[in-house]
Amino acid sequence: MIALYPGSFDPLTLGHVDIVRRFSPFFSHFILLVAQSHGKDSFFSVEERKDIVNSVFKRSKNILVDSYNGLTMEYARKKKVDIILRGLRAVSDFEREVAIANVNKVLYPKIETLIASACPEYSFISSRIVKEVAFNGGDLRNLVPKPVERALVSKLKWLQGDKT
């Protein structure tokens, strides 16, 4: 079975990592798809996000990292994906995720969506909160994996003019 976990991952957080670690063992192929953030200005480019995710999961043989500019479901169809995996942090995510799952079910009836609930200890983490903490020089250790922390610090330094 092939699973697809799509998202902006701008940046990857411990919440995302938790979902990947809990669910990837159930699938022969687990594709983490870095999508363009529609309507959102991204902090990291798609290539940067993909590189960071790759460095976090490089030892996991069934995890593949890719990016795509078009409709996620078209990518899923082309790659013969069986399951789309999404995460649910709070009730506030519910309406949007179910609406997307329902649209996708009508357009692509053969592909199922699985909505996984976040672990309580990670349910408060979002990429947006991570960026706010990073912009204000806060401690990122309990929010993101090490490679993400390093990438955030170095990109912020670079943006602040220390382009070494």
Q: How near is the Cβ of 86 to ligand ADP at its closest, in Å? A: 4
40 is catalytic: yes
Nearest CA to 115 among 99, 129, 126, 128? 99
CB 28 within 8 A of CB 1: yes
Comparison of 37 and 62: residue with beta carbon closer to ligand ADP: 37
Active site residue 127: yes
Q: Does residue 80 have an active-site annotation? A: no
Q: Which residue is nearest to ligand ADP (CB)?
A: 15
Distances (CA, A) of 121 to 14, 33, 81, 147: 10, 24, 30, 20
Q: Which of residues 6-45 bind ligand ADP (CB under 6 A)?
A: 7-9, 13, 15-16, 19, 37
Active site residue: 16, 49, 50, 86, which one?
16
Residues that bind ligand ADP (CB under 6 A): 7-9, 13, 15-16, 19, 37, 86-87, 89, 93, 118, 122-123, 125-127
